[in-house]
Structure 1
Amino acid sequence: MARIFPIFATQVTIIFILSFFTINLAIGDYDTFVRSMDRKLLGVKKEKISHFRLYWHDIVSGRNPSSIPVVQPVTNSSTFFGLISMIDNPLTLGPKLSSKMVGKAQGFYSSASQEGVGLLMAMNFAFMEGKYNGSTITILGRNPVFAEVREMPVVGGSGLFRFARGYVQARTQWLDNKTGDAIIRYDCYVMHY
């Protein structure tokens, strides 16, 4: 009996210690919701800045539009206030639609202004070519359509654009007033790793 007690006491002590650490680890996960990360674990290297010049083709007419209204404006105003259009617009290297397509602008724009045409743009530039194939740049901002240069923020990205930030400048290259089709030049200035 004298031999069993020390073995039993040792086992109880070990179980108690393991239980204590297990409970502390479990509770510890709920005590904090943030922790520091090692940059290397995320693949974050030296930050660089890149400039992309792309042409955004908003095709609203014809048999195969790349932009379609999903919510019509409530009133017949000249600003189209309330209009929401989904987009899957080609992004090309040159201003002609026949230029090499390097990606798609996917998302939506909505008419968010009652005075003048001002759009809320929420879109990803999803790249399909070269080094950036599968990566995206996310743009979210106000686009006062008839301003010569419109600036919108880059709020993030994926793939090679993880942790991206920056801005884009949009300039109308061509607009067909009858159909609404447009070609917009986007200069993207993106800081990424």
Structure 2
Amino acid sequence: MAKSLAIASLQILGVLLLASLAQSKHSILHLTLYDHEFKGPTAEHNQTIYPVAGLPNVKWGFLQFGTLFIGTNILKETISFHSPTVGHLHGVVGVASLDGFAIEALASVHFLEHGKYNGSTVEIKGVINQDQQVSEVAIVGGTKQFRYATGYMTFTGTPVVNATGHNVYKLDLHIRLDKKGDSPGIALQ
């Protein structure tokens, strides 16, 4: 009886030890950036997003199913275009629904080399719904300071939309980062 109780106690302690070792040491970083997109040239800036492919015999556009775009939007600290630039949003998007409202996005948030995150990237993938005020996409990885990052990003339209096609979107990144020592043999900075 005492022997079986001791064995059961050791088994429970072993399970608890394994459970505590399996818990990841991580932190959550929240960043807010403003994505400035130019659908056409303006006095301040050149066009930043271009249609590059689409279905034959139809006019390519932001609501036309099958249209693919490539872009390099400008990321700023605030909603003002005159605020400091923190990086670029490089990526490919495609109109993925027949009604034209769902955009499949694959993009990199690329921080400037001389900035706080020193050339690091955050990789995103997901569907942006053009008919909704807020969409959420997955953070699926990153480089340098964001190596092994996961999380999510919300993509919110703002009232800054003008006739020249200068649109501003608020990006809220919620990035889960492993802390140093969480992955043996991998040096995270």
Range into which the TM-score falls when normalised by the shorter chain: 0.7 to 0.9
Match among 145, 151, 156 for residue 141 of structure 2: 156
Q: Give the deviation of 1:180 after TM superposition.
A: 3.6
The whole-number CA distance in structure 1 between the counterparts of 2:62 and 2:47 is: 22
The whole-number CA distance in structure 1 between the counterparts of 2:63 and 2:107 is: 21
The whole-number CA distance in structure 2 between the counterparts of 1:105 and 1:83 is: 19
Match among 35, 39, 43 for residue 56 of structure 1: 35
Q: What is the percentage of aligned positions where both structures have the same residue?
A: 29
Q: Which residue of structure 1 lines up, in the alignment, with residue 167 of structure 2?
A: 182
Query: In the TM superposition, what whole-angstrom CA distance separates every residue of 1:116-165 from its partner, at most 9, and x where no partner exists?
Result: 41101110000014331110000100000120110010011010101000
Q: Give the deviation of 1:68 after TM superposition.
A: 1.2
Q: Which residue of structure 1 lines up, in the alignment, with residue 21 of structure 2?
A: none
Equivalent position SS for 2:99: coil
Query: In the TM superposition, what whole-angstrom CA distance separates every residue of 1:86-124 from its partner, at most 9, and x where no partner exists?
Result: 111100001111111000001111111102411011100
The whole-number CA distance in structure 1 between the counterparts of 2:121 and 2:62 is: 33
Q: Give the deviation of 1:175 after TM superposition.
A: 2.5
The whole-number CA distance in structure 2 between the counterparts of 1:187 and 1:78 is: 23
The whole-number CA distance in structure 2 between the counterparts of 1:147 and 1:116 is: 13
Q: Which residue of structure 2 lines up, in the alignment, with residue 80 of structure 1?
A: 64
2:47 pairs with 1:65: yes
The whole-number CA distance in structure 1 between the counterparts of 2:79 and 2:55 is: 30
The one-letter code sitting in structure 1 at the alignment partner of 2:89 is A
The whole-number CA distance in structure 2 between the counterparts of 1:113 and 1:55 is: 26
**CA RMSD in angstroms, aligned pairs only:** 2.0
- Gaps in structure 1 of 5+ consecutive residues: 1-44
The one-letter code sitting in structure 2 at the alignment partner of 1:140 is K
The one-letter code sitting in structure 2 at the alignment partner of 1:114 is L
2:145 pairs with 1:166: no
The whole-number CA distance in structure 1 between the counterparts of 2:136 and 2:156 is: 9
**Structure exhibiting the larger radius of gyration computed from Cα positions:** 1
Equivalent position SS for 1:131: coil
TM-score for the superposition, normalised by structure 1: 0.71
The one-letter code sitting in structure 2 at the alignment partner of 1:86 is I
The whole-number CA distance in structure 1 between the counterparts of 2:30 and 2:62 is: 35
- Does the 8 Å contact 2:64/2:100 carry over to 1? no
- Does the 8 Å contact 2:62/2:95 carry over to 1? no
- Does the 8 Å contact 2:102/2:130 carry over to 1? yes
Larger proportion of helix: 1
- Gaps in structure 2 of 5+ consecutive residues: 1-23, 179-189
